[in-house]
Structure 1
Amino acid sequence: MRSEFFRHARLCVAGITLALMASTAYAEPAHGIAMYGDPALPPDFVSLPYANPDAPKGGEVVTGNVGTFDTLNPFTLKGEAPWQLRFLTHESLMGRSYDEPFTLYGLLAESVETGPNREWVEFTLREDARFSDGTPVTVEDVIWSYKTIGEEGHPRYRSFWSQVGEIEATGPRSVRLTFTTEDRELALLAGLRPILKKSQWDDLDFAAARLEDVPIGSGPYIVDSYEIGRHVTLRRNPDYWGADVPFRRGTSNFDEIRIEYYGDNTVLQEAFKAQALSYLREFNAERWATQYDFPAVESGEIVLTEIPHNKPSGITGFVFNTRRPPLDDWRVREALILAFNFEYVNDTLTGGRQPRITSYFSNSELAMQQGPAEGRVRELLEPFADTLPPGTLEGYTLPESDGTKRNRGNIRKAMKLLNDAGWTVDQGVLKNAEGRPLVLRVLLRQDALLSQVQTYMEIYKQALERLGIGLQIETIDNAQYLAREGTYDFDITFMRRDLSLSPGNEQRLYWGSDTADQEGGRNLMGMRSEAADAMIDEMLSTRSREGFVAAVRALDRVLISGRYVIPVHQYSVGRIAHLKELSYPQDHLPVYGDGIWFLPEVWWYEAEDR
């Protein structure tokens, strides 16, 4: 009996020892962290796989934005800043590799450590990390940055901060964040918060910063000069501290990046043809195929490059503001989707060259499967069956037209849905029971990426007239647009949400119930869905890749069957027209394809005498 007792005791001690060893091993400082599994790159990696560590430094690149800017602080709600600044002038503790679904490697931090369940994360700063003015990046700067941006910064930063229970220094170069929410992604999001210099703001109001109060960062570029509404010039810092950090090798190769502002896309396009801009991204396949035959292309001075990717389609299209009746009725939204004759529009504007988005995560393994929900996806959704819109569990596909301009079949279906929702046509005008006509207001902004959106709406307006619906199209400048978008002052507007292979907390910002009425928020449709909230929670708490995929597929069903957006084209390939002197690593393209992490991040200037 005594030997049996000690045998059990030894087994218990052995089990406890193994558990402690496993916990300790998991919590050891590491060079990187992945959402699932281990980082693909080893601790001694030389550079990111899609960067050329031997890329030459030098030259300048000029890019163009449409609109204007009135601040150089991209971290507050006040004003509009050049969007590129957050990525080029400031850094975070870790940096993201765009060759993996969601993996971070050390940048300002040399290592990362987490608790067994990622209930906390700890970072150790590199001893030589410096701001652009040469002063060291300290733990005090890190703690101040998290608190200040989390409490006074742009709303996009506040959701993360609300889930931090404690932030504390654990050593002269280490800082730990402890979370209040069971969410595996928080440890990674913590590594991506921008770090600013605390002492700069001792006598300044961060949230109400003036134009000249440019936040000091630690990034490879600094603001060299600017003219309000005209241009911003960034200069590569010759004393940049991180040039030899593996994550940075082969990146930030241009000596100068100049951001020119233009009043509209037409002027920007002409500036590029005249080679006043170094590159231009083209999002219209028809224009790419038919309008890039101007002299500079034919002579070889401008090169046309296509960059494939393997990321989800995301959602691009016209979003309904469901805060406003009758857009709060799914039947009305379905009728409006039926009336949007995508097949005809696609043929007219892109020659049928760009396929349609079929769901928010289409083009990836995260996309919902066609037909009825099955397996774990059904298990996740069934508790919410009574609240789900038709088609969520049964299967929903976007309506297709016959491709003709009249779109008769879908117009008939749309009218039946509108009648069911209490709308009838009286003398050619669709009215409700109180006799009020249905008139929708579309809010659009002047933007280089949205040059064909106005045409979409002009065609759509004619289709809605056949249903007796009025459509008023209002195009305004960026400043006015942002103000009205931030207060949800629209019926319909254009929306683009890029989605990754590892969606996470940003999903709460896009379609979480808590953000539906948050001023300046990203939930443009005003979506409130218990099912969507639950699927996001499941995505963030599950510990297996299989469980994660099921949760995302279930969320995808809730989103697409909710009829919140009229989806348009997929952008399945990046199209970049650029000066012949601009080069990039062609032997290994990032899995996420083109983006600011690609151009200008890893491109370089190839001088003619090389």
Structure 2
Amino acid sequence: MNRSTTQAMSRSSKGMHWMHWMAFAAFGAASVWAGATSAQEETIKSHGYSFFGELSYDADYPHFSYVNPDAPKGGEISIATLGTFDSMNPYTRKGRGGALATVMYESLLGEGVNVQAPADVYAEYYCLLCETLEYDVDKNWVIFYMRPEARFSDGTPVTAHDVAFSQQLILDQGLKSYADAVSKRIQNIEVIDDHTIKYEFTPGISRRSLIEVVGGMSVWSKKWYEETGARLDESRLETSPGSGAYMIDEIDVNRRILYKRNPDYWGNDLPFNQGRNNFDKIRVEYFGDENSAFEAFKAGEYTFRNEGNSKQWASAYDFPKVKNGQIIKDEIPDGAPPTPVGIVFNLGREVLKDRRVREAVALGFNFEWTNESLQYGLFKQRASFNQDTPLMAQGVPEGDELAFLQSLGDLVPAELLSEEVRMPHTSSATRLLDRRNARAAAKLLDDAGWAVGSDGMRRDETGAPLRLTFLMNSSGSATLSAVVENFMSNLRAMGVDAVLERVDASQYTARERDRDYDMVFDQYIPFLSTGGGLQQVYGSEAASYSLFNPAGLASPLVDEIIEASQRATSKEETDTTLIALDRALRHEFFMIPVWYNDVHWTAYYNQYERPEEIPAYGLGYLDFWWYNADKGAALRADGALR
């Protein structure tokens, strides 16, 4: 998962690819499978997979319900991203990967272009490189029967040997958090024949997210890696051939990346792909800052914006191309849970291990003033990791949730059982520094041993100041910069030596990976179901180094709730544990929640069309929108596009 500051990896993703992050393999020796399962063993064979066995699309589905199966193919869509890149290999810790650098690769169970597929259902997975999959009712193993016609872009077949090789490669050379998680979950992998592969899962562990994770792993060409000697952990511009609908056309380092639709794409006629992959080309333009990117959009240098800057959305779209209809400004309902973004505390820092300090620092953030003064009142305040969903914890625990929490014994603090779920503090909208909150923060810091010195700064008993650094990407938006600057101003007024460190995009990426910050504006994921990915994000197992846990959260209570969610045997029981997980995460308080938006802010040149109803879990502008050639020609004739 690429967490760069790019509109290409925008809110349409909403964290929905997290179940495919894991890499896999406690890799057993490839062997010849001796035959069918025992006659007494009940198995399920299907065209797709969901944990509880329910699929919205039958085996003979013609296409996903939200696409236009008659959408024309052609044209180009272009988007912007900020910063730089020096690699097209997003799997290495070295360098900065290019936007959409995984778009060329497919998996056994497919997904879309920067969006889950299908995007109208959650936690359902359908065959792409495979034709069918088979598994026992207890999910101890799974067999994927692959499509013999699948091909890489160089014309070579995609085989089970490539799948097995890819699993091993990411174990040997991928991120450590991947390998550590997977080595405990996969007991053996068997290449049965060229187009059949079997996974056996470790006994005694939860069967959650095992089948979909191994089915969601990108498949790379074994032949290419062996012939070139390339490594997965090296920064490079050269890429292995993929089997996906798109392939790299041009690379201009730090300026643009152009992807083109493979004219010989093997999967064009699959029901999975009907009405999708409609653009001939997808172009990504790089810019040094948000202002230059926006001016380039106005000038017609690229054609689609998924706007994230509230100030620009409210006040900057009054230029002639919007007024005359050459650019469409559109708000599209967003049915996915909002990404939990906020100000993340690095819990590895000694000073921030004290909850009282974190509570005091949080009181320096004034959502109401920020929203009204800097964001035009366009946002709502986020409280939950599953905001506005049935899995959002409410009030005091009761019923099944209370019984579940009580079953966890001494792991659960007494206040978690008896008090209202944690909600963000309120502040004055008319004054940046809320005096009531400042007084509360002062008491917390006093209690934590940070007394006010003669210079007005908070110091410990040795005289050392309470110093906190906030790491920020210098290419980020001016609005976010203003939000952080005002937050830091409040901290200084409270006696904190608050330092804002702006660094360029490459330094930011390196320091974020090394967790070299006290605070950072970052994100976690919402969760509408459970699975192994929750440990990667919220669990203790890889807390000290996981790229997806920027706070370094390590909570025995959270660990146990995640484990219980994976042991659940019904959707109702699962939902109960996930509500409790939301409650526990909010109690742990490792992030200051900020804002969210329940609509997509989109602006695009009037040459694109889309389904009337956008699915709940993805905007899909790169995936199932399409180009109107007549409208595009008119824009060019009028000089609207460069």
TM-score of the superposition, structure 1-length normalised? 0.91
Residue 184 (str. 1) matches residue 171 (str. 2): no
- Aligned match for 1:224, one of 249, 269, 274: 249
Residue 442 (str. 1) matches residue 458 (str. 2): no
Deviation of 1:346 (Å) = 1.1
1:321–1:526 Cα contact (<8 Å) kept: yes
Residue 167 (str. 1) matches residue 182 (str. 2): no
Corresponding residue for residue 564 of structure 1? 590
Counterpart of 2:517 in 1: which secondary structure? Answer: coil
Counterpart of 1:62 in 2: which secondary structure? Answer: strand
Deviation of 1:160 (Å) = 5.2
Corresponding residue for residue 95 of structure 2? 79
User: CA separation in 1, counterparts of 2:451 and 2:273?
Assistant: 62
User: CA separation in 2, counterparts of 1:59 and 1:243?
Assistant: 17
Corresponding residue for residue 325 of structure 1? 350
Q: How does 1:376-525 map to 2 (within 5 A)?
A: 376-382=400-406, 386=410, 391-393=415-417, 394-395=419-420, 396-405=422-431, 406-427=433-454, 428-447=456-475, 450-518=477-545, 521-525=547-551
Q: How does 1:306-317 map to 2 (within 5 A)?
A: 306-317=331-342
Distance 1:525-1:385 versus aligned 2 partners, 3 A rule: farther
User: CA separation in 2, counterparts of 1:69 and 1:516?
Assistant: 27
Spell out, residue by residue over 1:534-564, the C-alpha distance to the aligned partner (whole angstroms, 9 max, x if none): 1111222212111111111111111111121
User: CA separation in 2, counterparts of 1:525 and 1:557?
Assistant: 17
User: CA separation in 2, counterparts of 1:310 and 1:446?
Assistant: 31
Counterpart of 1:41 in 2: which secondary structure? Answer: coil
Distance 1:527-1:153 versus aligned 2 partners, 3 A rule: same
Deviation of 1:354 (Å) = 0.7
Counterpart of 2:45 in 1: which secondary structure? Answer: coil
Deviation of 1:387 (Å) = 5.2
Letter of the 1:538 partner, please give it: A
1:286–1:353 Cα contact (<8 Å) kept: no
Deviation of 1:133 (Å) = 0.9
Corresponding residue for residue 267 of structure 2? 242
Residue 528 (str. 1) matches residue 554 (str. 2): yes
Letter of the 1:608 partner, please give it: D
1:252–1:602 Cα contact (<8 Å) kept: yes
Corresponding residue for residue 591 of structure 1? 616
Deviation of 1:85 (Å) = 2.2
Residue 151 (str. 1) matches residue 172 (str. 2): yes
Which region of structure 1 is more displaced relative to structure 2, 397-406 or 137-146? 397-406
Instruction: Give unmatched runs, 5+ long, in structure 1.
Output: 1-19
Deviation of 1:57 (Å) = 0.5
Corresponding residue for residue 294 of structure 1? 319
Spell out, residue by residue over 1:513-537, the C-alpha distance to the aligned partner (whole angstroms, 9 max, x if none): 111112x622111111011111111
Deviation of 1:207 (Å) = 2.9
Corresponding residue for residue 16 of structure 1? none
Distance 1:298-1:189 versus aligned 2 partners, 3 A rule: same
Distance 1:211-1:384 versus aligned 2 partners, 3 A rule: same
Letter of the 2:630 partner, please give it: E
Q: How does 1:334-353 map to 2 (within 5 A)?
A: 334-353=359-378
Corresponding residue for residue 131 of structure 1? 152
Counterpart of 1:166 in 2: which secondary structure? Answer: strand
User: CA separation in 2, counterparts of 1:254 and 1:212?
Assistant: 24
Residue 257 (str. 1) matches residue 282 (str. 2): yes
Instruction: Give unmatched runs, 5+ long, in structure 2.
Output: 1-37, 111-116, 633-642
User: CA separation in 1, counterparts of 2:167 and 2:629?
Assistant: 42
Distance 1:561-1:404 versus aligned 2 partners, 3 A rule: farther
Counterpart of 2:352 in 1: which secondary structure? Answer: coil
Spell out, residue by residue over 1:209-259, the C-alpha distance to the aligned partner (whole angstroms, 9 max, x if none): 462431211001111111111111111100000001111111111111111
Corresponding residue for residue 31 of structure 2? none
- Aligned match for 2:623, one of 593, 601, 608: 601
Deviation of 1:590 (Å) = 1.2
User: CA separation in 2, counterparts of 1:213 and 1:289?
Assistant: 41
User: CA separation in 2, counterparts of 1:400 and 1:386?
Assistant: 31
Corresponding residue for residue 107 of structure 1? 128
Deviation of 1:183 (Å) = 2.6
Distance 1:21-1:553 versus aligned 2 partners, 3 A rule: farther
User: CA separation in 2, counterparts of 1:85 and 1:262?
Assistant: 17
Deviation of 1:165 (Å) = 1.0
User: CA separation in 2, counterparts of 1:500 and 1:243?
Assistant: 32
User: CA separation in 2, counterparts of 1:158 and 1:589?
Assistant: 36
Residue 64 (str. 1) matches residue 77 (str. 2): no
Letter of the 1:266 partner, please give it: N
1:283–1:571 Cα contact (<8 Å) kept: no
TM-score of the superposition, structure 2-length normalised? 0.87
Spell out, residue by residue over 1:453-493, the C-alpha distance to the aligned partner (whole angstroms, 9 max, x if none): 21111111221122111211111122111111111110000
1:33–1:104 Cα contact (<8 Å) kept: yes
Spell out, residue by residue over 1:239-289, the C-alpha distance to the aligned partner (whole angstroms, 9 max, x if none): 000001111111111111111111111111111111111111112344323
Deviation of 1:401 (Å) = 1.4
Counterpart of 1:326 in 2: which secondary structure? Answer: helix
Letter of the 1:566 partner, please give it: I
Which region of structure 1 is more displaced relative to structure 2, 450-459 or 204-213? 204-213
Distance 1:300-1:354 versus aligned 2 partners, 3 A rule: same
Letter of the 1:362 partner, please give it: Q
